[in-house]
Structure 1
Amino acid sequence: MNDPATIRRLYGRRQGHRLRAGQASLADELLPQVSVPAGPLDALALFGDDRPLELEIGFGGGEHLAAQAAARPETGFIGCEPFLNGVVQALGHLRDAGLGNVRLHMGDALDVLERLPDASLARVYLLHPDPWPKARHAKRRMANHGPLDLIAAKLMPNGQFRLGTDDPTYCRWALMVMGQRADFRWTAEHSRDFLERPADWPETRYERKARRQGHEVWYFSYVRA
Structure 2
Amino acid sequence: MTSADNAHARDAAAPATGFYGRRKGKPLRALQNQHLQEDLPRLQIDLATLSDQALPALFALPVAEVRLEIGFGGGEHLLAEAARHPGIGYIGAEAFVNGVAKATAGIVEAGLTNVRLYGDDVVPLLDRLPAGSLARIDLLYPDPWPKRRHWKRRFVRPDNIDRFARLLMPGGHFRFATDVEDYAAWTLRHLLADARFHWTARVADDWRQPWAGWPGTRYEAKARREGRIPGYYEFQRI
TM bucket by the smaller chain? Answer: over 0.9
**How big is the shift at 1:106?**
0.5
**How big is the shift at 1:91?**
1.2
Distance 1:9 1:74, change over 3 A: closer
- After TM superposition, the score normalised by the length of structure 2 is 0.89
Identity score, percent: 46
Q: Is the 8 A contact 2:18 2:155 kept in 1?
A: no
Q: Does 1:60 align with 2:69?
A: no
Q: Is the 8 A contact 2:70 2:140 kept in 1?
A: yes
Q: Is the 8 A contact 1:19 1:85 kept in 2?
A: yes
Q: Does 1:154 align with 2:140?
A: no
1:47 paired residue number: 59
1:23 paired residue number: 32
Q: Does 1:177 align with 2:186?
A: no
**How big is the shift at 1:136?**
1.1
**How big is the shift at 1:45?**
4.3
Match of 1:138 among 151, 159, 168: 151
For 2:26, the aligned partner's letter is: H
1:198 paired residue number: 211
Q: Does 1:77 align with 2:90?
A: yes
For 1:81, the aligned partner's letter is: E
SS in 2 for 1:160: strand
1:105 paired residue number: 118
What stretches of structure 1 move > 4 A for 4+ residues in a row? Answer: none
SS in 2 for 1:114: helix
SS in 1 for 2:128: coil
Q: Does 1:222 align with 2:231?
A: no
**How big is the shift at 1:179?**
1.6
The structure with the largest alpha-carbon Rg is 2
2:45 paired residue number: 36
Distance 1:51 1:141, change over 3 A: same
**How big is the shift at 1:12?**
2.0
Distance 1:7 1:169, change over 3 A: farther
Provide the aligned length of Structure 1 versus Structure 2: 224
Alignment gaps of 5+ in structure 2? 1-10
Question: RMSD value over aligned CA atoms?
Answer: 1.5
**How big is the shift at 1:169?**
1.9
**How big is the shift at 1:40?**
2.8
For 2:36, the aligned partner's letter is: A
In structure 1, C-alpha distance between the alignment counterparts of 2:57 and 2:46, rounded to whole Å: 8
Q: Is the 8 A contact 1:129 1:142 kept in 2?
A: yes
**How big is the shift at 1:202?**
2.7
Alignment gaps of 5+ in structure 1? none
In structure 1, C-alpha distance between the alignment counterparts of 2:213 and 2:187, rounded to whole Å: 22
**How big is the shift at 1:51?**
3.6
For 1:14, the aligned partner's letter is: R
**How big is the shift at 1:209?**
1.1
